[in-house]
Structures are given as C-alpha cells and as structure tokens.
Structure 1
Amino acid sequence: MNQQIIENLPNYDYHCAKEYLEYISSSGLKTVLYNPFLFKWRRDLQIFKPPSKQQKLGSALHTLALEPENFERDVHVVPPNLNKRKKKDKEFYDEWEAELLAKNKETIILEEDQQEIVEQVREKLEKNTEVLELLSDGVAESSIFFEVGSAKYKVRPDYMRKDLIVDLKTTGKPLYDFGRSCVNYGYDLSAWFYCYGADIYNYKFLVIETIEPFSFGIFTPDKQFMATGKARTLKAMKIYEECAKTNNWPEPKLNQSLSLPRWYQKQAA
C-alpha cells in the first residue's frame, strides 16, 4: 500500500482541492455502500453540502481542542443584534462573511448563542488533565493519502500519535446515546478505515456534549465494533472497485421491504 502523509494541509484543500478529489474518504465509502450512483453523482458534480449550524459548532470545538493556536484566527461570532431576515442586515452579513472567507478559507462562523457553549467547553477542557494528556505528544489533522490496487483513498485523523488515533466527536445528545450515533453515522467504518489508512490499530473516540453539563467521554471500540467496521469497509471498497472497473454505478432497488430496528421492536415486547 502506497501511503503519503501531509501535515498542515488546510482542511479546505483536503476536501475540495482538485488534486485530492479523486481520493475517496470514509464518507464516500459509506455512500458507496448503500448507493454507488449517489456517490458518483456527487463526485462528478462536485457537490459539497454547506455545514449546518451544529456542524459549525463541532468544527469550532475541534479547533479549540486540537489546534487552540488557530482558534482566534479561524473562529468568529456573528455580530450582535444582527437580524439576517432584514435586507440591510443580510447584506451586511454577506459582505462580512465574504471578506472573512476571502482572507481565510478555514473560517468558522458561529451564532451568538453558540459562543457560550464554546466558553463552557473551554473551561472544562482546561481542567480535564486526562483529556489534555490524551491530546498530547501527537499531531492534529494530518492528511493521509494511500492507494490500494488502482483505487485511491484518504483519511484525516483528528489527532494521531505514534500508537493511537483519537477521533473527536461532538454530540447534542447525552453521552449514553453515543452508541446509537455510531450506528446512525457509521462510525465503525470510519474507525477501521482510519486505522487502515494510518496503519495504527489503536483507536479512541473523544466525545464532547454540546448540551449541559458539557460532559466529556473517552470510548474505546471493542473487537466486535472494529470487526464490523473492517467488514463494511472492505465490502465498500470492493463495490467501488467493481463500479469503477465496469463504469456501472447502480442505484438502490426500486422495491424494497421495510422492517423496524430490533431495538425499536423490543419496546413492544
């Protein structure tokens, strides 16, 4: 497996620069797994969804925890008393945002109510020695590009030490619900794919609540979690390679059966 590690590559370039668009990320593999046609459609049209309000907050907290030296440069808060539904305010905001992005493509813009969340998390982070130790002696946001056969892939671990990958997640739900988030967002696939790309098979999730009391949790995936991620990753890679070889990118079946998840069915037992 050919591997190239690039440090200090801007996040925007990793996701959007032309020279890296041919590399498939974990998000791309998840899409290939259930809808190859959708993956190709998005890639061909270069469709990138704008980040949601919650995603912007997550990016700001990533910067706070992993690259605090860049926080003041990258993170900005919408000016107070600005009503974007009013024409003049909207015009002012658009000009202000465009100016910030022209200077720095890594700019993250938060709403006023999110500033307090960031400060609450900052205060708890500075006092949590175990989390600070976890995020030490490593490198944040390294970009790894690698090839398997004729296919090209990429991963960008949040924090990487010589023997460990730390994946920082934010959640608007209590920590006890994080397992369900792993299922909903396919974090098992991401975890194994990142380990594979970095050739480091030790992985932890650092999870930060964005709701009170803003608790932190460190989760270590068990063997079954990683085995499931490996199986789904290899299946997605096989599907991609076959689609690329034949140039046939199928859509999901038109007629499908529908069943409820087992955990939901248990509520009626």
Structure 2
Amino acid sequence: MNAFIELSTPAQLIEKMSNDEYHSRPEFSSSQLKDMLRSAAHFHSHNIIKEHEKETKKHLDFGTLAHTLFLEPEQFNNEFVVFPDDAPRPPTDAMINAKKPSEDSIARVEWWNAFNAENGHKIIITAEQLAGAKRIANNLMSLSMYTEMQNNYGMAEASIFFTDPVFDLQLRVRPDYHIVPCSRFPNGLILDVKSAKDARYFDFSKACGNYGYDLSAAMYREGFQQYYNTEDKPDFIYLVAENTAPFLAKQYKASPTFIACGEHRYNKSKELLAESLLINEWDGYSLALEEISLPSYMVKQALETDFH
C-alpha cells in the first residue's frame, strides 16, 4: 500500500462511483485511521495483510436499506429485491442432481435459476423489512434539514479524494450527502445519516465516541474544504434514525468541542500512520502493567449517590 505521493495533487470529486469501486481504492479512509488509533498492529492486520477480509456475499444491513430509500431511492431496484411470499422452497441437492426429477423439482429449479439470474447481485429483503425502512425514510424526511437538502443543490455519495497537507497521505471520504457552497451555506454543508438503537442525545453521543464519528467528521470537513476551496470548513450534521419501531429520527449539529476532539484524534492518527509507514513497524498494545478504573461518568454517579 503506497501512502506517500511524490507531488501533492488537487482534490478530486467523483459522482456515481460504485461503493465497491470506492472501497477498493488505495487511498486511506477514516475507518482505517480509526484502526490506527487502536494500534498500528490493528491497522496492519486489517488494511495491509488483510487478515479480516469480509465475505464478498452481500447481506442486508438495515441501515443501508433505509439509507438508500432516503438518499438514493432511484437505486433501490438496482440494489435490492423483495423476496416474494409465494416463492417455492429452494431445491435440494437431490432434486438438482436427480436423473429423473419430478415436475415439482423441475419447476422449483427453474424458478430459482431464473430468480438468481435476475437478482443474484442484489440484496434480498422481506416486505416487512422494506416497510420498516420506508418508515425510517419518512421520519428522516420530517426533519428540518431535509428541507434544506431539497432547497439547496447537493449530491449523495460523492467521493472526494485529497492529499493530507502535512504528511502527504492520500485520503478519501464519501459523505452520505453534501450541499455545495451557496448563498445559504457559503462553506457548504455535510450531512451524515446514521441508524442507531437509541437516537436520544446521551446514547447517540456515546455512539459517536465509541465509533469515532468525530474523527470521521474532521476528515470529511478537511477533504470538503480542499475540494471546494471554501474559506472555512463546513458544518457537520447528523440525521439519526432508530432501527426499531417506531423508527423515530433526530438531528444533531456537531458542536465546536465535538469537532475539536475529532480534529485532535484525526491529526494524531495521521501522525501515527505516517510514522509507521516510514519505519515499517506496526506495534500493538503497551505491555506495561496499568491500573484500571471505571468510566468517569460512573465514578461521578457513585460519588454523588446518597447511600444513607
């Protein structure tokens, strides 16, 4: 994996790039930088020698389904198929290999061959899953930021490739949706659609920390500013929908503190990655004996509790 380039190149934006093509690119993503913050060994394992390659077979991610219905409904028929309730059971190996198959076996084999030929590249979903995802999309559309998306020009899933100005790392980001710089948003606007078990402030803020959403926001803002050459970086908005009924949605704007923490972690991860690539060493965890405590909020709760 080649992280350094001889000359810095201008940022590039590509629309309509497939998800598979984007993820096969050599530039570093925010997910990879998050691996680096865990340890250089994790980064090396996941991204260089690829010891944890995911299965290539597509499976349903309920958030992906809702995401498509909300941001790219025109892509639904290309990516998903609703499995019919009256579909025959899959044929057994005995049916497929039988020398004299029954009419029922022939019919089942023919049905499944035709279904797979037309839909083998798609993610199979149920009518119930589709109904739930539609409720999520509808609830997201009730948020005020959706009105901004409708009233200002923007694009979904545009891929931005840029160069880190300090370490010359080649990087890539793919905002769920962004509004291009305009009179309403002089620096543009980035919107990130998330599914969550609980969209309320306390739980979602914990998810932001656990999954490194702050680091991603910092990286996306930098790539955006490099491409659009705006005076300041754009605001970052989260549109959060719960993935269980009643599929309620909320919207949040990343605070200055949120962004500052993200930029600190983003810069640290780039520094660590550049160093590891330079010396080709991929250290794991510290082997020192450490003292462990509880999370600060639990300590605070314990100290404030009246046991009398």
Bucket of the pairwise TM-score, normalised by the shorter protein: 0.7 to 0.9
**Is residue 133 of structure 1 aligned with residue 154 of structure 2?**
no
TM-score, reference length from structure 2: 0.73
* Equivalent residues in 2 for 1:53-64, closer than 5 Å: 56-64=61-69
TM-score, reference length from structure 1: 0.83
1:121 positional shift = 2.2
C-alpha distance after superposition, 1:215-244 (max 9, x if no partner): 221100111100000000000000000001
- Residues 201 and 84 of structure 1: CA distance in aligned 2, closer, same or farther (over 3 Å): farther
Q: 1:100 pairs with 104, 110, 119, which one?
A: 119
User: Does structure 1 retain, via aligned residues, the 8 Å contact 2:40–2:284?
Assistant: yes
Q: State the one-letter code of the partner of 1:160.
A: H
Q: 2:296 pairs with 252, 262, 265, which one?
A: 262
- Residues 80 and 261 of structure 1: CA distance in aligned 2, closer, same or farther (over 3 Å): farther
For the pair shown, the structure with the greater C-alpha radius of gyration is 2
Q: What is the CA–CA distance in structure 1 between the aligned matches of 2:87 and 2:39, rounded to whole Å? A: 41
State the match for 1:153 in structure 2.
171
Q: What is the CA–CA distance in structure 1 between the aligned matches of 2:56 and 2:243, rounded to whole Å? A: 16
State the match for 1:245 in structure 2.
278
1:48 positional shift = 3.6
Q: What is the CA–CA distance in structure 1 between the aligned matches of 2:235 and 2:256, rounded to whole Å? A: 11
Q: State the one-letter code of the partner of 2:35.
A: T
State the match for 1:188 in structure 2.
214
- Residues 194 and 69 of structure 1: CA distance in aligned 2, closer, same or farther (over 3 Å): same
SS at match of 1:62: helix
State the match for 2:77 in structure 1.
72
**Is residue 10 of structure 1 aligned with residue 18 of structure 2?**
yes
Q: State the one-letter code of the partner of 1:214.
A: F
User: Does structure 1 retain, via aligned residues, the 8 Å contact 2:196–2:241?
Assistant: yes
State the match for 2:125 in structure 1.
110
Q: State the one-letter code of the partner of 1:36.
A: A
How well do the aligned residues superpose, as a CA RMSD in angstroms? 3.1
- Larger fraction in helix: 1
C-alpha distance after superposition, 1:85-116 (max 9, x if no partner): 9967xx98x976686354xxxx3333554223
Could you tell which deviates more after superposition, 34-43 or 70-79?
70-79
User: Does structure 1 retain, via aligned residues, the 8 Å contact 2:140–2:239?
Assistant: no
Q: State the one-letter code of the partner of 1:142.
A: A
Q: What is the CA–CA distance in structure 1 between the aligned matches of 2:81 and 2:131, rounded to whole Å? A: 13
Percentage of identical aligned residues? 32
SS at match of 1:115: helix
SS at match of 1:208: strand
- Residues 259 and 130 of structure 1: CA distance in aligned 2, closer, same or farther (over 3 Å): same
**Is residue 169 of structure 1 aligned with residue 185 of structure 2?**
no
User: Does structure 2 retain, via aligned residues, the 8 Å contact 1:63–1:70?
Assistant: yes
Q: State the one-letter code of the partner of 1:14.
A: Y
Q: What is the CA–CA distance in structure 2 between the aligned matches of 1:254 and 1:81, rounded to whole Å? A: 58
SS at match of 2:162: strand
Q: State the one-letter code of the partner of 1:120.
A: R
Unaligned runs of at least 5 residues, structure 1? none
1:12 positional shift = 1.0
User: Does structure 2 retain, via aligned residues, the 8 Å contact 1:175–1:215?
Assistant: no
SS at match of 1:196: helix
User: Does structure 2 retain, via aligned residues, the 8 Å contact 1:66–1:135?
Assistant: no
Q: What is the CA–CA distance in structure 1 between the aligned matches of 2:90 and 2:302, rounded to whole Å? A: 45
- Residues 97 and 50 of structure 1: CA distance in aligned 2, closer, same or farther (over 3 Å): farther
State the match for 1:28 in structure 2.
32
The list of structure 1 runs, each at least 4 consecutive aligned residues, that deviate by more than 4 angstroms after superposition, is 50-55, 81-88, 94-99
1:210 positional shift = 1.5
Q: What is the CA–CA distance in structure 1 between the aligned matches of 2:205 and 2:59, rounded to whole Å? A: 19
Aligned pairs, number = 258
User: Does structure 2 retain, via aligned residues, the 8 Å contact 1:175–1:207?
Assistant: no
